[in-house]
Amino acid sequence: MKRIPYSRQCIDQDDIDAVVEVLKSDFLTQGSKVPEFEAAVTQYVGAKYGIAVSSGTAALHVACLALEIGPGDRVWTSPISFVASANAALYCGAEVDFVDIDPDTFNMSVSCLAAKLYEAARVGTLPKALIVVHMAGASADMQQIAALAASYDIAIIEDAAHALGGHYQGRPVGCCQYSVITCFSFHPVKSITSGEGGMAMTNCPQLAERMQLFRSHGITRDRQKMNRDDGPWYYEQQVLGFNYRMSDIHAALGISQLRKLDGFISKRIALASQYRDALVDLPLCLPVFSADSAWHLYVIRVKSATRRELLYQHLKRQGIDVNVHYIPVAVQPFYAIGADVPNAENHYSAALSLPLFAELSDDAMERIIGCLTRFDW
């Protein structure tokens, strides 16, 4: 019996041919493909600048660096996310705290944010930035979050690792309408993949320039920006940067994948709709359906932690890989800061992610749904 993964990349011959073409070219890195990929994603989401980097985590890190987040600053994010959302701020020396989630959307709760900001303003502990996570592919309520942040002069970074191809208020996630920077991931389980990679989108030329500097050792070759000029060979390190460049090999795959993104998202939406219709009568809490979501994950919630574990084992025995998204970052031993996030902890105790990816077959869906309906609820 063939196992059904909870997610996987969708690679076809066009993708392979695009990578092989680069492998046969003169440039494996720092050629024409990275700028081409940046321009393609920028055009797709409607932002002005895209800075391709080696991972989604790197995108979050250079975003924090560009905003000059450092020791003494505070950054708030969601506890229901991968640890990279919080780690990026720690890399800069900032202090991290967490805003509880909305139990229906799994995204940052507007009411919890408002209450936390009010108290922080009272005691003088406001954050410099919010990293707002679009959990499972559905955008957070960015208009209300942005309005709250603006009233306290707080910058917003969107962690849209799950959300490329999704929309909010009729515009693509990544256009930066309500944020200064939006970060994408191109890990193999995301909407599209470049193998590994990420991109930071912004409409601010100064932030774009700083992120470009930080991704490449802090080095510039722009003679107009140098403090001295010893000749055409000269380059100048201006900040402590990192080796976060994306290669042309990865970018070529990303370009090819981007051409198929709308089709991938349409299939994910159809699969989410199929799950909704098939599971509606089971004793589960299903995610809020939205055709604007990129549907990176399909997260059901089981009525108790005990039943969740039994269901997990039942599906695994049937060759169906499921996962839990996420263990709240705030309770990870490394953090363990005692954050007040009861909604996140309740979510974790019941959440289970079912298989969802663009090449999930009808036969596989039938197996999954059959195993769920036959479970001893």
Among 40, 61, 39, smallest CA distance to 210 is for 61
What CA–CA distance (Å, rounded) separates 188 from 161?
11
**Catalytic: 260?**
no
H-run or E-run covering 364 = helix 362-374
Q: Which of 33, 116, 128, 190 is catalytic?
A: 190
Tallying the residues shown for the chain, one arrives at 377
Longest dimension (CA), the chain: 75
166 DSSP 8-state letter: -
Tokens of 323: 């996962």
What CA–CA distance (Å, rounded) separates 169 from 296?
19
What CA–CA distance (Å, rounded) separates 107 from 219?
37
What CA–CA distance (Å, rounded) separates 354 from 133?
20
Check if the beta carbon of residue 22 is closer than 8 Å to that of residue 249. yes
What CA–CA distance (Å, rounded) separates 369 from 278?
7
Residues in CB range of 244: below 8 A, 6 or more apart = 53, 54, 55, 58, 61, 62, 214, 215, 216
Give the active site residues. 190
